[in-house]
Structure 1
């Protein structure tokens, strides 16, 4: 388990399953299986392509979280540098990124 409490990435989506790709013995541990059993979800029709798109987004989430964390750190560094050298960069973008990181991890970013 990683520092955030979830299986570390990268993950992959293949044949309706999101897999942990860290295993040395095959595709890894199945983390999520797309449910194609019914095309009706919460009062609306859902296509297989939408279910697959949702699964690909889930599979990409560890990589997206890492990229967002790195970007937020870079924005913070640039903001500090600019503010120390007569420029101004507001905190709005960094705060938005940190809020998304907190949403994903359940911990303050």
Structure 2
């Protein structure tokens, strides 16, 4: 069994730099993270598409499925739950999810590390 440890918060950008329903890639402590601002909130996941093996999830299509905020990979169109990182199309596939918050108008990310 693995446990997740949390690293410190890293300021990424001002909130107004994140366009609604669009993704942006950021480098946080050496990890490529995909950030999303949706009507449901802020989300941060690894930018690496686990199926296609490329760093492209920030360029995916933001949407929803059954009320769940999602991102569809631009490569093979697999859909991921932005809240959990789970793939809704392929059981057992997921992308790492990270903590994200807005403080004083700045978006901050805290990486989750499996250990």
Specify the TM-score bucket, using the shorter chain as the normaliser. under 0.3
Give the structure with the larger helix fraction: 1
**TM-score in terms of structure 2 length:** 0.24
Instruction: Return the structure number with greater strand share.
Output: 2
